[in-house]
Amino acid sequence: MLQVNNLSIKFLSHKNEIEVVKNISFDLGVNKILGIVGESGSGKSVTSLAILGLLSENAILDGEIFFKEKNLLTISDKEFEIIRGKKIGMIFQEPMSSLNPTITCGKQVYEVLKQHTDLNKKEIFKEVITLFEKVKLPIPHRIFKAYPHQLSGGQKQRVMIAMAIACKPDLLIADEPTTALDVSVQKEVIELLKELQAENQMSILFISHDLPLVSELADDVIVIYEGVIIEQGKAKDVFRTPQKQYTKGLINSKPSLSERFKKLPTVNDFIKKNTFPEIYTKLERDQFHQKLYSSEPLLEVVNLKKYFDSQKGFSKNPTIKAVDDVSFKLYEGETLGLVGESGSGKTTLGRSILHLEEITSGKIFYKGKDITVLSKTELVNLRKEIQIIFQDPFSSLNPRISVGNAILEPMKVHKILPTHNDRKLYVLDLLKKVGLKEDHFNRYPHEFSGGQRQRIGIARAIALRPKLIICDESVSALDVSVQAQVLNLLNELKKVFSFSYIFISHDLSVVKFMSDQLIVMNQGKIEEINDSDEIYSAPKSNYTKNLIASIPKGI
């Protein structure tokens, strides 16, 4: 179906040539799934965009890409327009930025069929509804009329899949299609792709940094590192007996569900062969928790409710109970994990604690004081004490302000340190503490990688010397190796500055590694709350059991 021969890709930048893909070759058979794994910047996505002819004008390509014996690097734009969408479909990583926010979801899929088929309007509408049913979207007629912002992340991803398979392509390219999805939705999407492949005899190129996930789906796998294929073979062979230290690092950077490491091994640890992480004993954890829970709670949430009025006609219920009678305690020095599927109320709960959402009813006590009844001045002071690290650091940083000034600005507002010079020296030290360099102070957000931007977000949050930090899906979009580095950093900073964390994530293995106690949320309510190791070893509710069962285990 697809044959890539000696492909090299360079980009022309300020008269310099930057080579990002270096002489790679691979084949994808008919009705087969090939996984491409590697970190950000390894060349995975660039290769997929080259296959679709979507690279920017400053790209220089060398080699051959044969699709059904036709070299895609030598065909005209007009020929490509016929192939793209009809013969080769693509599911992009981020559906929100790939879907047009001004056009309804149904209309966007409708346009693909209008472009590539001879069906009339009535037949196209019927086909879109059938596609929405096939990708298991609820109430397809309503989804047809809905705009992307009205759907959950999982639903938007399904619309993207419907669009990609609308013309029954021979080849489907899936670029990180499950990265930002919770485990249960991720599992559904993977099963859906398998079903669609079997039904349409499709070939799939599945790109991901998650090796356990790829091993469950792909027939064959190639591992790419800095633009070079360093390992390839049958998925089960590569996963069970990896030959390269880099591949071993990718497999093992994900937190273990069976053991609790003091520090996560990173890919660099494996490359340098420093691969013996220390493990917490049960006695060590018990002693720490005995001390931790002997004091008064830092934060206490009592019967918290946050209800939204839904838009007319789009929901059966006029009121959405995003947070529904939730109570818990958080202690100084504790990391409290918060897990659940999209729409379970995790983020709304975090935003309610920060006063970014006005609560419907209930009490929130911080250091014994009810913070639901604060004056404006008291609220400003509270913001200094409770900080948040957002999921997407790029959209939470001002693109026109250097990262140093982005960290300095809130320090100035909250009068941290007496002079500008004192503050600047403090920020330079913070940048080093989060693994960045002093000369990064004057650079802008677009000049950094995702992992570096996340470190900037962490530096900005800790600059105000808070007592409590809410991490809202703060590592979900990162590669497993960068994720491991950031999680280790958060734990190190916690020790140095005596932080408490509320750690919100859909990735259960990550939450288990980070958390002392764990709250499982489902439809606005607490499903269960307990020691995180206890919940994993003996989950009480069926909902929690299903969540844990959905985690990709690999072959």
pLDDT digits (tens, 9 = 90+) for 246-264: 888 888 877 877 788 888 8
C-beta separation of 217 from 37 below 8 A: no
CA dist 147 and 85 (Å) reads 21
Using 50, 70 and 90 to split pLDDT, how confident is the model at 313?
A: very low
Other CB atoms within 10 Å distance of the CB of residue 249 = 25
CA dist 274 and 271 (Å) reads 8
Please give the average per-residue pLDDT across 471-482, as a whole number.
79
pLDDT of residue 79 exceeding 80, the answer is yes
Using 50, 70 and 90 to split pLDDT, how confident is the model at 137?
A: confident
**DSSP helix/strand/coil, 84:** strand
Using 50, 70 and 90 to split pLDDT, how confident is the model at 180?
A: low
Please give the average per-residue pLDDT across 35-59, as a whole number.
88
Enumerate the β-bridge partners of residue 299: 330, 366
pLDDT of residue 331 exceeding 50, the answer is yes
pLDDT of residue 51 exceeding 90, the answer is yes
Please give the average per-residue pLDDT across 178-184, as a whole number.
72
Q: Are strands 500-504 and 517-522 parallel, antiparallel or unpaired?
A: unpaired
Q: Of residues 104 and 18, which shows the higher confidence score? A: 104
- Compute the radius of gyration of the chain from its Cα atoms: 24
Q: Of residues 413 and 312, which shows the higher confidence score? A: 413
Please give the average per-residue pLDDT across 94-119, as a whole number.
88
pLDDT given at position 186: 78
- How many residues are given for the chain? 555
pLDDT given at position 408: 93
Q: Of residues 65 and 448, which shows the higher confidence score? A: 65
Please give the average per-residue pLDDT across 122-126, as a whole number.
95
Domain boundaries, the chain: 94-166, 301-401+467-549
Which one of 81-95, 354-368, 392-406, 541-555 scores highest in mean pLDDT?
354-368
pLDDT given at position 85: 82
pLDDT given at position 318: 61
Average pLDDT, the chain: 88
pLDDT given at position 519: 95
pLDDT given at position 312: 47
Instruction: Please give the C-alpha separations between residue 405 and each of 138, 398, 440, 464, in angstroms, as whole numbers.
Output: 46, 10, 11, 14
- Burial class from Cβ neighbours inside 10 Å (0-12, 13-18, 19+) for residue 268 reads middle
The candidate with the shortest Cα–Cα distance to 92, out of 52, 151, 149, 142, is 52
CA dist 233 and 244 (Å) reads 12
pLDDT given at position 311: 55
pLDDT of residue 502 exceeding 60, the answer is yes
pLDDT given at position 96: 65
Please give the average per-residue pLDDT across 461-478, as a whole number.
86
pLDDT of residue 319 exceeding 70, the answer is yes
Cα 209 to chain centroid, rounded: 11
Using 50, 70 and 90 to split pLDDT, how confident is the model at 28?
A: very high
pLDDT of residue 154 exceeding 80, the answer is no
pLDDT of residue 509 exceeding 50, the answer is yes
pLDDT of residue 111 exceeding 90, the answer is yes
pLDDT given at position 31: 92
Cα 98 to chain centroid, rounded: 16
Q: Of residues 253 and 175, which shows the higher confidence score? A: 175
Percentage of the residues of the chain whose pLDDT score is greater than 90: 45
pLDDT given at position 554: 63
| CB environment 219-236: b (16+ within 10 A), e (fewer) | bbbbbbbebebbbbeebe
- Token code pair at residue 472: 């809202």
Please give the average per-residue pLDDT across 290-309, as a whole number.
92
Instruction: Please give the C-alpha separations between residue 553 and each of 211, 256, 386, 506, in angstroms, as whole numbers.
Output: 10, 10, 36, 16
Domain 301-401+467-549 sits in CATH 3.40.50.300: yes
pLDDT of residue 62 exceeding 50, the answer is yes
pLDDT of residue 230 exceeding 80, the answer is yes
